[in-house]
Structure 1
Amino acid sequence: MDTAYLSRPHEEQAGGAEPLVSVRNVSKRFGNGTLAVHDVNLNLGAGEFISLLGPSGCGKSTLLRMIAGLGSPSGGTIEWPTTGRDASGEPQRDLGFVFQDPTLMPWATALANVMMPLTLKGVRKAEARERAAAMLALVGLAGFEKSYPRELSGGMKMRVSIARGLVLRPKILLMDEPFAALDEITRHRLNDDLLELWWKEKFTAVFVTHSVFESVYLSKRIVVMAARPGRVMADLDVDAPYPRDELFRTSPEYAHLCRVISGKLKEAIGS
C-alpha cells in the first residue's frame, strides 16, 4: 500500500469535529439538460487546504459556486452546520471568493477595491481603510494602496483580489483557478505566498485547479473529479509537512506524490 496518501471516507472528519460545510448527495443539472455535477459528497473541515482537481468540464467551478451560494443544487443539500441562518432562512456563509480573473473595479485604487466588502457591511470608513491597508500589507502590497488596477501586474492584481476575499476574515476562502493565467515564475511565488497566508490566518482554503503539480504543492487534501457527469473519484490526504518551499518542490517526495496523483487523475479521465 502506498503510504504517500490515504483515501478517506467522505464522512470522516479529523478529530471528530463538525465540518464547516457538508456537501450531501449534490447534483446540478442545467436548463439545457447537461448534468454538470452528480451525487457529490464532501466535508470541508476547519483549517484544511483542499484542492479540487480534474479536467475541464468536471464540475469543479460549478461545485465551488454552489458552495458559495452563487447557484443552487438540483438535488442534495449544502449545509453550514456551525454558522446558523439569516432572517430569510438561508445559511450564513462565512466565506470569501477569488475568481479566475481579479474582477477589480478599474476606476478604484487597490485600497478602495479591498475596502469594498467592508463598506458593503457598513464598517466605518476609517476602520475599513485601516483594515484594508493591513490586508494589502499582508499580501505583500504595502505601498501600492493608491495604485489603480491598470498600474499593477497580473500577479499584483491577483494579490489585491485575494486581499479583498480575506478582508472580512472569513472561515473559508474559495478560489477558482486564480493563478491559471499567470506565468510559471509568478504562479510559484503566489503559491508560496498563499500558503504562508493560509498558515498565518488559519482559514479553510478550497482551491480549484487543473494542475497536479500545484495541487500537490499546496494541499493537505486533494479531491479528484471526473467529467460527464462531474463526480468525485478520489479523496486523498497529502502526507507532506508544512511549511513547503522550493526544497519540497524539487524533492523526490514531491515527484512521487505528483506521480501518484497523476495516476489517480488519469483513472478519473478514463472512467
Structure 2
Amino acid sequence: MSGLRIHIREKRFDGAPVLGECTIDAAPGEFIALVGPSGSGKSTLLSLVAGLDADYDGDITWNGAPLSAVGESPAHMGMMFQEPRLMPWLNALDNVRLAEAERVAREPGYQSNAPRLLEEVGLGEAQHVWPNHLSGGMQRRVALARAFVVEPQLLLMDEPFVSLDMPTGNRLRRSLLRLCERQRPLVLFVTHDLREALALADRVLFFGDTPARVLLDHPVEGARGKDLESAEVASAQQVLLARYPQLLSGILDPSQVQTYDEDTA
C-alpha cells in the first residue's frame, strides 16, 4: 500500500502498557483526526511516527519501507504542537527559516519559502517581530508556517489550536486547510474537540483507554472545512454520540466496533 502504515503491537512506559494492538492505514493526502480520552496514547502514537521514540514493538512504514531510521525524524515531515515552541532569540521569519536549514545546506540555490508562507498565514507585516511581541494566536501562525515550510508529505499535529478563542482558532483552521489543499500532505491531527475533528477530517479514529487501541474508524461525510458551530457538525456529532454514547470516554461495546478495513472491504 502507498502511504502510511502503522502497526503497533505494544508500547510500554516504565513497564506499563500504553498502546495495545493498533493498525492504521492512511493514504497520501488524507486528513485523519485522532480523538480519545486524555492519556489514551494519541500523542504517544505521534511521537512514534515522528521517530522521537523508537522503543516499541511494531512497524511504521511509508510506501512499504521504514518511515525513519532509529532516532531520526522522517524527511519531508512537518510537526505542530500544543505550544508554538518558537526560539525566543529568533524573529518570526528566522523561526520559520530554521526548519529549512537542512534543505538550504543540501540544495545550492534553494530559495526560502518562509516569507511567502508567513504572508499566507497573515503575518507578512510581522516577519521581523520577536516571539515575545506576538500574541498567542500569531505565535501559532508562525508555528503553522514552520510546519509547512518543509513541504511535508506527512504532517503531525498535536492539539495545535487548543485554548484559542473561536475566531482565532477558525482563522488558523482555514489557513491550515488552504495549505493542505495546495501541498496535499497526509495529516494526523490530535484533538479533544469532536466538533473540530468532524469539521476538518476525512476520517476520525477514536481511541480507547489504556492500553489504547482504535475503537472506531469513522468516515466523515461532506467536504473538509465545515464551520465548527454549524448545524451540519452539530447533527453529525449528535448522531455519532447517540449511537456510541460512551465513545469519548474510550468505551465501545465490542459488537459495535467497526474498523476501516471492515467498512471498506
> Which category describes the TM-score, using the shorter chain as reference length?
0.7 to 0.9
- Determine if the alignment matches structure 1 residue 20 to structure 2 residue 3: yes
Aligned match of 1:262: 241
Runs of 4+ in 1 over 4 A off after TM superposition: 82-93, 123-128
Deviations 1:95-153 (A, max 9, x none): 1111110000001010000000212331679845x411112112221121101111111
| Residue 201 of structure 1 pairs with residue 206 of structure 2 | no
User: Normalised by the size of structure 2, how large is the TM-score?
Assistant: 0.85
Measured after TM superposition, the shift of residue 249 of structure 1 is: 4.0
Using the size of structure 1 for normalisation, the TM-score is: 0.83
Q: From 210, 213, 216, give the equivalent of 1:231.
A: 213
Give the distance between the partners of 1:75 and 1:196, measured in 2 at CA.
36
C-alpha RMSD over aligned residues: 2.5
Alignment of 1:22-171 (within 5 A): 22-30=5-13, 32-81=14-63, 92-121=74-103, 122=105, 127=110, 130-171=112-153
Does the CA-based 8 Å contact 2:22-2:213 persist in structure 1?
A: yes
Which consecutive residues of structure 2, in runs of 5 or more, have no partner in the other structure?
253-265
SS at match of 1:191: helix
User: 2:61 and 2:137 mapped to 1: Cα distance?
Assistant: 34
Find the counterpart in structure 2 of residue 215 from structure 1.
197
Amino acid at match of 1:270: I
Residues 193 and 86 of structure 1: CA distance in aligned 2, closer, same or farther (over 3 Å): closer
Q: Which moved more, 1:97-106 or 1:176-185?
A: 176-185
Structure 1: runs of 5+ lacking an equivalent? 1-17
Aligned amino acid, residue 233 of structure 2 = Y
For the 8 Å contact 1:83–1:92, the answer to whether it is kept is no
Shift in CA distance, 59/108, structure 1 to aligned 2, threshold 3 Å:
same
Deviation at 1:90, TM superposition (A): 7.2
- Identity percentage of aligned residues: 35
